[in-house]
Structure 1
Amino acid sequence: MRLRVEFTTEPFDLEEAPAHALAAREVVETASLDAVDVGPFGNTAEGGAERVLTVVDALLRRSLAAGATRISLQVNVLGDESGEGSR
């Protein structure tokens, strides 16, 4: 099964990326996922289910430890490992 996670961390700071946002970015960028898109108002990452679920755990733990007061996330099933299934 393949998954896509979309997430944001708060509080926002438009002047510079807060520590919790940097921690979340580091987690997804170093996780060997199939696709990662990091932006100022939302982030997405895709990969195999086990890898994505492991990343979500690390993302939550590290972002909260770095000062996040809210983390919003959504996980979507994309299909199986071959990419077939719902999109």
Structure 2
Amino acid sequence: MRLRLEFTTEPFDLDEAPAHALAAREVIETAGLDAVDVGPFGNTAEGVPDRVLPAVDALLRRTLEAGATRISLQVNVIGEQAGEDGG
């Protein structure tokens, strides 16, 4: 199974990346995920559950510790790994 993670952290600051946004970027960029896209209005990454789920845990913990007041996230199943039974 492959998962796609989409998330944002708030509050927004268009002048400078807040500490919670920097923490989120670090978590996602070091989690061994694929198709990482980090931007000011939304972030995405893909990977297997064994990497995505721990990254979600770390993302929530680290961004809250860094001052996030709201974290919006969505996780979608986007496909199966090669060789896995789809049924």
Question: What TM-score do the two structures reach when normalised by structure 1?
Answer: 0.92
- Which deviations, in whole Å up to 9, do the C-alpha atoms of 1:41-63 show, x marking residues without a partner? 00001000121001000000000
Aligned-partner Cα distance in 2 for 1:29–1:72: 18
Indicate the residue corresponding to 2:27 in structure 1.
27
**What is the deviation of 1:5?**
0.4
Aligned-partner Cα distance in 2 for 1:9–1:42: 8
Aligned-partner Cα distance in 2 for 1:34–1:69: 27
Structure 1 stretches of 4+ moved >3 Å: none
Aligned-partner Cα distance in 1 for 2:4–2:50: 12
Instruction: List alignment gaps of at least 5 residues for structure 2.
Output: none
- Which deviations, in whole Å up to 9, do the C-alpha atoms of 1:19-41 show, x marking residues without a partner? 00000000000111122000000
Specify the structure having the higher radius of gyration (Cα).
2
- Residue 67 (str. 1) matches residue 67 (str. 2): yes
Instruction: List alignment gaps of at least 5 residues for structure 1.
Output: none
Alignment length (residue pairs): 85
Residue type of the partner of 1:67?
A: G
Indicate the residue corresponding to 1:44 in structure 2.
44
